[in-house]
Structure formats: structure tokens, C-alpha cells
Amino acid sequence: MKKGLGKILKTRGITLFLPIVVISCAAPAAYNAGTGQVAIRPASADLQREGAAAFKQYKLKTPISRDAAARARVFRVANKLRPVVNLPGAQWEFEVFNDPSANAFALPGGKVGVNTGLLKIATTDGQLAAVVAHEMAHVTSNHAQSRVRRSQTIAFGGAIVGAMFGGTENGEELGELAQTGGNIAFGLTFSRTQELEADQIGTVFMARAGYDPGDAITLWQRMGASQQSSTPEFLSTHPVSATRIQKLREFLPTARAQAR
């Protein structure tokens, strides 16, 4: 006899209500080329609370950098960008973590983390601004909410397939395969779209704050030179550097026109 859907969800560890996801980019375009306006999409109050709680926990578990020069750089850039990013209700908070990986992340409500390893790649304030503005763009575009909704749909689809074949020998494997296929077809592709969107919006924020958006291209050239990944782009949540650079070059005149 087939198991009920609820039991299958429980026994196979599939949940429809997933925990908050760290943003590491389908709504209308976040940038209107005709008006020059950036679409601001505040996250729900619940998601902002979850973002704040997740950031608090991360700070407890991850060493915070005590490098005065590194902290001064990040805060200097963040404080220059903050006035040009109008996100109602945002509680912006920036922190520098003692982590050698060249990475940064954002959480709903305006929580942004920068690893010290990134500062070895982003050697100028302009290059660092490209990263910080990119993460702020994830927040203003509310990419987290979209990712949560998409992940719930993918998980549910995998659970349904597993339930349909729950009485068969390969039922569980089919359900897992369906969920994996859904993630590749929808989840990862969607994430790459968000990343490219955040790249563009980030360069608009850079220009408005007085930085040269062209520094974003330099950053990704340096990032590409430092990281040689063998993962095919269609299986990656982030576009390869060559793709990002091409898209940024195409958008560069538009971003520079936003200089104030």
C-alpha cells in the first residue's frame, strides 16, 4: 500500500517550508532602462526577522575580523553606498569575517557579510564597492523571497513524484532524481539570473555613489584569474566570470549614465 504524502515528506526529509536561504541573483526586471529607476522590493517582515536572526547566529559561529584596516575599508565603502540605496525599513548592517575564502553574502533586511579573503582580490575601494553593491542589490531586489518560493516548488515536485511511486522498489530514487532535475532546470538557472541582475543593479548603485562601474569588470577579471573551476556553468549557481564580464560590458554605458 502506498504511503501518504505527509509520511513520505517526513521519512524522506523533504520539507515544503524551507529554512531561510543565504543569497549568494520570476519578477519583472529590477531596472527600467526607460526611466532609469531601480525596482525596490522589500522583503516580508517575517523574512527580515529571519535574516536578522540568521546573521546574529552566523556572527556567533564565525570569527569576526579584528583587522582594523580591513574593517575600515569595508565600512568606508558601505557607508558611501548606503545613502544611494533607498530600501524602506532596511536595517543595514555590515560585518567583516575572518575567512580566507573570496566571498561575500547578503541576507534579507540588509545584513551583509564580507570575508577577509575577498579583500585580497578586491584590492581597491572601487572593486570592493562592486561586491558590496552587488550584495545590496540582492537585498533591494528581494531575491531571497524568490529563491524560497522557487525552492518550495522544487521540493514539492520531487515529493509528488516520490509519492506517486511510493509503492515501487525505486520510488525513493525517482523522487530524489526528480528533485535533483528540478534544481538543475529551475533552481540553479534562476540563481544565475539573479546574480546577473544583481551585477547590473550593483553597478547602478556604484555610479550613484561616485564609483566607476567599470571597476566591477576589473573585479571579475581578477576573480576569474584567481579561481579556475571545472564545474560546467549550467551546474553552477553563479555565472562564470567570462559571462559576467560580457554582460557587465554591455550594461556599462547604462550604469555610467547614472553617475551623480
Q: Annotated catalytic residue: which of 50, 93, 95, 135?
A: 135
Q: Going along the chain, which residue ranges are E strands? A: 31-32, 37-38, 93-97, 104-107, 111-115
Alpha carbons 233 and 209: distance in angstroms, whole number: 32
Angle at 230 (CA atoms; ends 226, 231), nearest 5 degrees: 110
**CB neighbour list of residue 247: distance below 8 Å, 6 or more residues apart:** 196, 199, 200, 239
Q: CA gyration radius for the chain?
A: 20
Alpha carbons 53 and 252: distance in angstroms, whole number: 36
203 with 81: CB under 8 angstroms? no
| Dihedral pair phi/psi, residue 89, rounded to 5° | 80, 0
Bridge partners (DSSP) of residue 95 are 113
* 135 has catalytic annotation: yes
**Helices within 82-170 (DSSP H only):** 125-140, 143-164
Residues taking part in catalysis: 135
